[in-house]
Structure 1
Amino acid sequence: MSEAWSGGCQCGAVRYVFSQKPQGAHICHCRMCQKAFGAFYAPLVGGPMQTFTVTRGEIALFRSSDQVERGFCRDCGTPLSFAYIDGDWMSVSIGSLDHPEAFPPKDQHGTESRLNWANGLGALPDVAPTEERHPETAAFIKSTNHQHPDHDTSVWPPK
């Protein structure tokens, strides 16, 4: 059996798969990526368009420039994809993959827009886990969690 690399949005309305391991993991600091992800940078990885298939739902698209379409879940807003309109490469948000730990970024793009403090993020102090600091809150969140699990499901949401 061949290896497949799947992922999807937070609510489970959109699922996708790559038929070969994505490559080129990087973070992009450009202002468009910052806005699209609502974050300091966008972590992306991808593969040839023909290796990418949406297996559930439909990726909503926003044309952020005349050359680029960015995909997201219309239901929960999860940033999912980045592709050049006439390109043959599909990039996805590393965090939307079921196993994001397999894709450590190798380089940085759009550094002209990098926030001057972004490189120091890894040096920030760790805070104790929510389970230790607020056990009741953590238990409530766990018992009411609507997030799709990090694997494919035949039916979602569960009945």
Structure 2
Amino acid sequence: MCRRATGSAFAVLAWVPSQSVTWVDATPTYRRSSPIACRGFCSACGSPLSLAYDASPGEIALHVGTFDDPARLEPRYNYGSRQRLGWVCCGMDLPHHDTEERW
């Protein structure tokens, strides 16, 4: 689903406590993208902003590209590795996990 939702080979997300997020300019528009997840988008331009799984109500994943300084963040693991495209080679030394979603 990450490829479809982002229009890219993968999504780079930062998981944070939901209570720590404050939207500054406007509240995102939310769309249920699967039976187990909801995604937030910029209501002005449509850029993907967030992902939240129903099973983890206290956490939200924010798209790293929306941060003012994304270089401060370092990846810790790969998620959805079974669906990884063969030519994607970044982060191969990190732990790998499968997704719960089946597409």
Aligned residue for 1:63, secondary structure, equals: strand
Using the size of structure 1 for normalisation, the TM-score is: 0.53
| Separation of aligned partners in 1, 2:32 and 2:2 | 12
SS at 1:64's partner residue? strand
Kindly state the Cα deviation for residue 73 of structure 1 after the two structures are TM-superposed: 0.9
Task: Specify the code of the residue in structure 1 equivalent to 2:30.
Answer: L
Q: In structure 2, list runs of 5 or more residues that go unmatched.
A: 91-103
Matched, 1:43 2:16: no
Matched to 1:114, the amino acid is R
User: SS at 1:50's partner residue?
Assistant: helix
Please give the alpha-carbon distance, in whole angstroms, between the structure 1 residues aligned to 2:64 and 2:54: 20
C-alpha distance in 1 between matches for 2:75 and 2:9 = 15
Instruction: Say which structure is richer in helix.
Output: 1
Higher relative contact order (CA 8 A, sep 6+): 1
Q: How many pairs were matched up?
A: 89
Q: What fraction of aligned residue pairs are identical, expressed as a percent?
A: 35
- TM-score normalized with structure 2 length: 0.79
Q: State the shift of 1:80 in Å.
A: 0.4
In the alignment, the residues of structure 1 paired with residue 89 and residue 46 of structure 2 have an alpha-carbon distance, to the nearest angstrom, of 27
* Structure 1 residue runs without a partner (length 5+): 1-31, 121-159
The alpha carbon displacement at 1:67 in A equals 1.6
Amino acid at match of 1:55: V
Question: Which ranges of 4 or more aligned residues in structure 1 deviate by more than 6 Å?
Answer: none
